[in-house]
């Protein structure tokens, strides 16, 4: 028996054995994969791309340090001025998974329950449902079947509107962002997709069984495609076979390579993702000592912002004893004012069109410009979060578009 005959017999035998399992896997994978783009278009779409904003005028406002001291706040992870429903407000994040606190900029008075109001404001702003009644608002600190870990952002407010399809917005108040927007149809399709595509409904203690099942299904698809290639190579036909068998062979020439690539990459993704923990949410810096912010920005706002268009202000701890006010400059719009239609907004989100401009840093102790800027702050954060000395950092660059190493699921741009 020749080597060619042996390979032909092996390919035919294996192809028949794994044909049913591989065929079922292909059907499940294909149908669930088809659902993915469908979900994008059947669900509700954002009607606004850029975050809400009000003119940032701080003259005559109460110094931030005095407001925090009066509220008994000595440490906070995040302190910033953001756009509220009617005016700018001071937002303070003391704990990563607790509701944020808000204060009136002029009087320093705390605004009770403002985090919920902020979430509803964001849900209306991004969904375009200005007048729809709100059915429920829930503070959510964990991912679930409707709001999966790929959304990254926690905690969020789940705001459900009283509409026929129960439009639901997940608002992330820390950055005035819309984390996820869905409705009954999209949620049902999403759960169906997860169940068919990767058995995500399986409990965590059944992870080995889930991996084994998916590996068998996808592995059989890979072997089916590989043995099919063997049949194409070792069985030569002088004429096309009539009927289904003929069409099967013709389509095999087209599908063989894509099936091999899809199944192999699927196996790699399965073992890679199940073998290591997934970064499921953003991590805030350790709380900063707010008493170190002694420079009163409001008293010098006109001088600091002369000739600048500023849309945000935040207090950051740059490490090494440097406490800074970060002035977010408005993004310069070149040409068109930005995406306005549903399709344009969706494409802009996935393409990574920046929502904000550069930043200016002011030393919170003396009011002088901190010239190192974003790059130096990014390097310090990299040192702190990875516990890596500066001399071991080989390169740094600004990323302004999503790509293979930092994709659209990470939500934020630009980043270093």
SS3 212: helix
> Which of 189-203, 268-282, 289-303 bottoms out in mean pLDDT, i.e. has the lowest?
268-282
For the cut 70, the answer to whether the pLDDT of residue 120 exceeds it is: yes
What is the pLDDT, as a whole number, of residue 345?
A: 41
For residue 61, which phi and psi values (nearest 5 degrees)?
A: -85, 160
Is 348 within 8 Å of 49 (Cβ atoms)? yes
- Kindly state the percentage of the chain with pLDDT values over 90: 23
Q: For 175-187, what is the mean pLDDT?
A: 89
From the list 194, 171, 196, the residue with the least C-alpha distance to 181 is 171
- Over 70: is that where the pLDDT of 331 sits? no
Query: Is residue 210 within 8 Å of 199, Cβ to Cβ?
Result: yes
> How far is residue 163's CA from residue 305's CA, in Å, rounded to a whole number?
44
> Cα separation of 396 and 377, whole Å?
12
- Strands 310-317, 323-329: pairing is antiparallel
Q: Kindly compute the dihedral angle of the four CA atoms of residues 283, 284, 287, 290, in this order, to the nearest 10 degrees.
A: 180
CA within 13 Å, CB half, 166: 11
Taking the C-alpha atoms of residue 279 and residue 400, their distance in angstroms, rounded to an integer, is: 21
Residue 277 pLDDT: 58
Give me the pLDDT at residue 347, please. 47
Are 287 and 94 in contact by the 8 Å Cβ rule? The answer is yes
Between 274 and 220, the more confident residue is 220
Which helix (DSSP H) or strand (DSSP E) does residue 89 occupy?
A: strand 88-93
Q: Domain residues of the chain, as ranges?
A: 3-40+195-274
Higher-pLDDT residue of 169 and 412 is 169
Q: Rounded to two decimals, what is the model's pTM?
A: 0.77
Split at pLDDT 50, 70, 90, the class of 105 is very high
| Residue 106 pLDDT grade (very low, low, confident, very high; cuts 50, 70, 90) | very high
Average pLDDT score, the chain: 81
């Amino acid at each position: 028996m020749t080597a060619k005959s042996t390979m032909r017999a092996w390919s035919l035998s294996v192809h028949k054995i794994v044909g049913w399992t591989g065929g079922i896997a292909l059907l499940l994978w294909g149908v669930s994969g088809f659902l993915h783009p469908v979900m994008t278009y059947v669900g509700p779409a954002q009607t606004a791309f850029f975050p809400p904003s009000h003119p940032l005028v701080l003259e005559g406002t109460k110094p931030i340090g005095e407001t925090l001291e009066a509220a008994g706040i000595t440490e906070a992870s995040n302190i910033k001025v953001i756009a509220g429903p009617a005016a700018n407000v001071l937002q303070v994040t003391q704990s990563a998974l607790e509701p944020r606190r808000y204060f009136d900029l002029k009087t320093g008075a705390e605004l009770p329950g403002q985090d919920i109001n902020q979430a509803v404001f964001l849900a209306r702003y991004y969904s375009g449902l200005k007048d729809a009644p709100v059915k429920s608002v829930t503070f959510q600190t964990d991912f679930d079947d409707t709001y999966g870990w790929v959304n990254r952002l926690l905690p969020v407010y789940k705001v459900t509107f009283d509409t026929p399809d129960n439009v639901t917005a997940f608002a992330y108040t820390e950055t005035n962002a819309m984390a996820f927007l869905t409705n009954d149809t999209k949620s049902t399709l999403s759960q169906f997709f997860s169940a068919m595509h990767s058995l995500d409904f399986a409990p965590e203690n059944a992870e080995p069984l889930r991996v084994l099942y998916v590996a068998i299904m996808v592995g059989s698809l890979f072997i089916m495609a590989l043995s099919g290639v063997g049949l194409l190579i070792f069985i030569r036909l002088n004429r096309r076979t009539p009927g289904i068998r003929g069409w099967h062979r013709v389509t095999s020439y087209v599908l063989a390579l894509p099936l091999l690539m899809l199944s192999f990459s699927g196996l790699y993704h399965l073992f890679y993702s199940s073998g290591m923990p997934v970064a499921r949410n953003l991590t805030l810096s350790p709380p900063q000592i707010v008493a170190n912010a002694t420079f009163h920005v409001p008293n010098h706002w006109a001088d600091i912002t002369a000739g600048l268009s500023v849309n945000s202000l935040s207090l950051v701890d740059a490490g090494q004893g440097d406490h800074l006010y970060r002035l977010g400059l408005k993004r310069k719009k070149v040409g068109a004012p930005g995406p306005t239609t549903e399709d344009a907004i969706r494409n802009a989100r996935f393409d990574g069109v920046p929502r904000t401009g550069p930043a200016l840093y002011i030393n919170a102790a003396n009011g002088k410009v901190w010239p190192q800027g974003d790059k130096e702050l990014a390097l310090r954060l990299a040192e702190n979060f990875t516990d890596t000395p500066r001399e071991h950092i080989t390169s740094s660059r600004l990323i302004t578009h999503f790509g293979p190493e930092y994709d659209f699921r990470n939500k934020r741009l630009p980043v270093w």
